[in-house]
Structure formats: structure tokens, C-alpha cells
Amino acid sequence: MDTEELIRALPKAEQHIHIVGSTRPETLLWLVEQGDLEAPYRTLEDVRRFFRYRDFLHFISIYSTVVDCITDETQFERITYEMLEDDARCNVRYVEASFSAPDHVRKGLDYGRMLDAINRGVSRARRDFGIECNLRIDLVRNYGPDAGMEVLDWIEAKSDNIVAVDIGGSEGGFPPKPYAPVYRRAREMGLHLVAHAGEAAGPESIWDAVRYLGVERIGHGVAARDDPRLMDHLRERGITVEACPVSNVKTAVVSSLRDHPVREFFDRGLRVTVNSDDPSMFGTDMDNEYLQLHRELGFTVPELFRLSLNAVDSSFLPENRRSRLREVFIEEYRRLVDGAERFK
């Protein structure tokens, strides 16, 4: 087994992946057909061209177009199942997937029926591939804190498989601080706390997510590189950075993989994980994320396995399940490394 084969075989966990952003190109065409929609793509090649972005704001506009293509709650079952099938192919064992419920409720879909469809996809994937998945709800910062409170009402009424809340969306115009009461209530409800920050705004966005929202994990966090004091604070507080390297290149948040701060974060002792974010829209998957870190940033196999353990250790699983998953990862890693040594 060569090094890249070993990297593909590593047990992995993913904690930053969007369900809608995992829609396969062929499934997007199916959605268009199902909804009898007018769309700027009719072939797989059309979709692949459509999934090219000038910058982060252009990506958001394309993502919104895909949201518009989901016209029936039951469609989420297929999208979720395929997302987990693709992750399982990369030997991902546990996933925390993000569902931007408000985007779809505003289009007339029912929250409860969508959640049921997603969880049917989760159950089928568990049965077929042995992969586990929990959910976090993206409150979508663009709609404001009052809308965020409404989403918490939905979760209180129906919380099947939901472990956390997040704020994604247009970071630059919607800072974290106004969401402090929403996050305080979410914490009281027993939910874990995450925020997209430092992707399309500077270090202050991350500081505010930490100060006012009390987050346990930061989505992306690229801008932390510009503030050594912030990096030290994240390390000292044990706040995890959910890095999404290929995503950040595709949306022009960074100029190249070699310019991505994930190496600096890792070397500085931050608890960082690696994730695919919107894999279908960025032409990536978890194997590719790990391989790119190896090829472009010199991550060794033991370092990549440390990223896997970071994802387990900072997961929102109950302590007993988290400990057991960690044991399983370590046992499998030892078998892989021992086997690779024997065949050298």
C-alpha cells in the first residue's frame, strides 16, 4: 500500500458539510426535471460549468439557485443518502451535516417533512454503509435574529437527530453579535454552538463569535491567520477550527492550497479538522481534501490521522460514543500502518 492509498484508507469523520451543497450534478438535473423548472443547465457538463465561481458572493448566488431547485420535501431523502454514500466511499464513519432549514421554509416547504426525509436518508445510509450522521441547523444569518428564534421554535417542536446550531450565509453584512440571545437560548435547549466566521470577513468576526455566541467550533476561520493573539486564544480555549481548504480556494478566499492557513493552525497547536463543505459544488470529497494537504502542504500520514482524531474529539457525540469511535479509529489506524510497513 503506497502513501496515497493509505491516506484514502484512513478512517475519517466530517463535521462541516452542507446537505444542499452535496447535491450531485446528475441529481440537480433530476430536481430540475421533477420540478419542471427552467434552468441554465441541461447536461452534466452544463452543471460543472455552472459550479465555477468568481468569488464568495458569486458562490452564494449559485448556491441559492440550487436551493430553488428543491421543490418537494421528499427530495431531501435522495440528496442526504447520496451525500453519505459519497462520504462512506472515502471511509468517513461519522458526519455532522448542516441543513439550512429557513432557506426552504421560505420557499414554502415544511420543516417537519424535510427533517423526516433527511432522516430517512440518514437511516438508509446507516443500514447500507454503516455511516452515522447527526444534524446541525443553519439559522442563516441573512434572515436576522428574530428569524433565528423562530427556527429554535421549530427545533423545540421537532429535534430528531439535531445536535447543534450554526449561522452561515453572508458573513460580511451580518455579524455574530446580534445573535447572542438566540445562541443563549440554543445553549439552554441543550444544543451545541457553531458559527461560520472568518471566511468572508476578518478576525473580528471570529472574536465576536467567540465572545458573544460562546461557540465551540468555528466554521472556516481562515482570517484567524491575521491575528496571532486570536490563534492563541482559540488554542487555549480548545475551540475547534473546521477548515475547508478546497472550498476556500474555489471561492477565492485563499489564492491556492499552499496559501491556506490550515498548516499554520495545525503547527501552532490549534485543534483543526478538515472538511469538504459543499463537495459536489467544489468538485471535492474527503479523500481529495486529505490528499491535497499531503501533496500541497506536506501533511504526513500521522498528521492526517491526527486531523481525523481531532474531528472525533470535537464531535458532538455523547462522551461514551465519542470514546468508542476514537478507539475504533486508533485500532484501524494501527492495522493500516502495520500492514503498510509489512508490504514495504
What CATH number is attached to the domain comprising 257?
3.20.20.140
Give yes or no for residue 235 having a pLDDT over 50: yes
The domain tally of the chain equals 1
CA distance 146 to 150: 6
pLDDT tens, position by position, 119-137: 999 999 999 999 999 999 9
**Predicted TM-score of the model (pTM):** 0.94
Average pLDDT over residues 276-286: 95
Q: Do residues 290 and 10 touch, judged by C-beta distance below 8 A?
A: yes
Residue 19's domain comprises 3-342
Band of residue 343 on the pLDDT scale cut at 50, 70, 90: very low
Active site residues: 199
Q: What sign does the CA torsion over 53, 56, 57, 61 have?
A: positive
pLDDT at 40: 79
Q: Do residues 71 and 27 touch, judged by C-beta distance below 8 A?
A: no
pLDDT at 55: 81
pLDDT tens, position by position, 101-119: 999 999 999 999 999 999 9
Give yes or no for residue 344 having a pLDDT over 50: no
pLDDT at 340: 65
CA distance 62 to 294: 30
Mean pLDDT over each residue of the chain, to the nearest integer: 95
